[in-house]
A and B are shown apart, each in its own frame.
Chain A
Amino acid sequence: MLKTTLVVLAVVGLCGCSTVKPWERDLLAKPQMALDSDPLQTAFEDHIYFSKEASSGGRGFGGGGCGCN
């Protein structure tokens, strides 16, 4: 697990020298390219899955604030 993490971090680090220039970011700047393109939808999903499954979090902090355990 930790190993995987380090490997991915290393890969990300190596790719860090991205050659994408600011004026080439037209596609990346589109709203549908946002990592969380619909935050309210994400909040609904987090709440649903938090209350029906044993896992939570990942994208953000593990959904608390709910007595649904």
Chain B
Amino acid sequence: MQLKNKQIGKRLTLATSALLGSLQAQAADDWEVSSALLMYSEADDRVQAVEPVLNLSRQFDDESSINVRVIYDALTGSSPNGAMPASVAQTFTSASAAARIEQAEEDDDEEELEKYGDRGSYTIAPGDLPLDPSFEDNRTVLSLGWTRPLSNGYTMNLGGAYSSEGDFTSFSVNGALARDFNNKATTVSLGLNLEADSINPNGGVPTALTMYGAGNTDGSDDTKQVVDLMLGVTQVMNRRWLMQFNLGLSQSSGYQNDPYKILTVVNDGNLIVNPDDPESYLYLFENRPEDRQKMSFFWQNKVAIGADDVIDVGYRYMTDDWSVNSHTLDLTYHWQISEGLYLEPHYRYYRQSAADFYTPFLNAGSEVEVVGSSVTALVDEASSDPRLGAFSADTMGLKVGLALGSSSELSLRYEVYQQHDDNSLKAVAAGSHLDGMSQFAELSASWVQLGYTFRW
């Protein structure tokens, strides 16, 4: 009994210290290997991603544990470039594709040339959403974590992560300290994460709010630093109810722009011919504030139903100084059909308000001054990135889990995601190029996740 209680206590400590890593209960001196594959797909030939993950964790006799995770992410497809659909055809010259082509020509890389040779510029048909077809990247992430119990009910966690993709590198270190109270019924934890990012866009860092195609850059790379602080409380409410509450603060400083996103400039709703290039229209590179402070509040409940079923209800409120406020509600029911089989239906609702500098396009006169070939933005910040607009989104999914013997599990999950535009329409002159055009591209996506976990 004593031994069993100790095991349960250990498992509960692990279960309740979510902030301190996410190790499942496992036998000491066993490696637990979790692997998963994500296949993500957006409608309308937008982003497609394949993402395999391998996670190794091991618990030692002294109750310390380590965790190693490797993620690879291969992305292809098209991504909105930020310009508005219009009633006329629009031709864009992709800086990222042009940079790749130039590099490939230098390296004499025929394979790359074949891939990108015809993507240096692309034409969007009237009424279609401008999508940049040269979106392609590979990301590799390595993260490490070490958890160790200290004396007096304290547990310490240290970790770090390195992430690299073609135009982006990120380093982070994190540490957290947790303490159990009330016979491990309460766990309070405090965590700190420091992240340093380096951004080196294909074609250089475009000068904010300058003409697309003019090639003005501010060097080849820029940086961003993020500091996150999180206070967490986990509480056993009763035999069937476990609750977690987190308060998160985040400060991000540095380059926050999406270097590939542009904005259409119109005169009374009509596209303006680029003063430097009569073949194309006028677009400006976006600009966001250099600082962002976020605060989040997360509340999660796990409630056991019967002997094996569990309801998981989570709510998150997030607010930041860009005027983005969001609500997220997440519901999952773990339905244990038999000892070796479970189903998990899932629903998530999300809603966010727009950043205060979000705008689907810019108006000449009030927001941009266009005099001959001189183009000057009159706004300090502007972005048409749909991620910063107002929208709500639904996710629905189902997961099936199958135990294979006592120490391994296979799972399959399918999820569908749909965004809904909540932005108010920006006025457009009747009969102009933008009249009747969608000002927000609602995203539809779906993904399949295959998971396999075993002990060894």
CB distance from B14 to the nearest CB of A (A): 8
Task: Say yes or no for B267: interface residue by CB 8 A criterion.
Answer: no
CB distance from A52 to the nearest CB of B (A): 6
Compute how far the CA of A64 lies from the CA of B161 in the bound complex, rounded to whole angstroms: 10
Compute how far the CA of A67 lies from the CA of B167 in the bound complex, rounded to whole angstroms: 7
Q: Considering residues A12, A29, A67, which has the most beta carbons from chain B within 10 angstroms of its beta carbon?
A: A67
| B451–A65 touching, CB < 8 Å | no
Query: Number of contacts between A and B (CB, 8 Å)?
Result: 236
| B245–A9 touching, CB < 8 Å | yes
CB < 8 Å neighbour of B308 from A21, A32, A55? A32
Task: Say yes or no for B347: interface residue by CB 8 A criterion.
Answer: no
CB distance from A15 to the nearest CB of B (A): 6
Dominant secondary structure at the A interface = loop
CB distance from B381 to the nearest CB of A (A): 14
| A54–B326 touching, CB < 8 Å | yes
Q: How large is the interface on B (under 10, 10 to 19, 20 to 34, 35 or more residues)?
A: 35 or more
> B68-100: which residues lie under 8 A (CB-CB) from chain A?
69, 71, 73
Task: Say yes or no for B60: interface residue by CB 8 A criterion.
Answer: no
CB distance from B443 to the nearest CB of A (A): 6
Task: Say yes or no for B12: interface residue by CB 8 A criterion.
Answer: yes
Task: Say yes or no for B426: interface residue by CB 8 A criterion.
Answer: no
CB distance from B216 to the nearest CB of A (A): 21
| B242–A59 touching, CB < 8 Å | no
Compute how far the CA of A5 lies from the CA of B199 in the bound complex, rounded to whole angstroms: 35
| B342–A32 touching, CB < 8 Å | yes
For residue A15, which residues in chain B have a CB less than 8 angstroms away from its CB?
A: 235, 237
Residue positions of B touching A, CB distance < 8 A: 1, 5, 8-9, 11-12, 14-16, 18-19, 22, 24-25, 34-36, 38, 40, 51, 53, 55, 69, 71, 73, 137, 139, 141, 161, 163, 165, 167-168, 170, 172, 174, 181-186, 191, 193, 195, 197, 199, 226, 228, 230, 233-240, 242-248, 250, 256-258, 294-300, 302, 304, 307-308, 310, 312, 314, 316-320, 322, 324, 326, 328, 334, 336, 342, 350, 352, 355, 385, 387-388, 393, 399, 411, 413, 417, 419, 443, 445, 447, 449, 451
Residue positions of A touching B, CB distance < 8 A: 1, 4-5, 8-9, 12, 15-44, 47-49, 51-62, 64-67, 69
Known interface pairs A33-B304, A59-B246; 17 further A-B residue pairs with C-beta atoms within 8 A, sorted by A's residue number = A9-B245, A17-B182, A35-B18, A36-B18, A40-B53, A41-B399, A42-B22, A48-B417, A53-B393, A55-B316, A56-B318, A57-B228, A57-B318, A58-B328, A65-B197, A69-B258, A69-B385
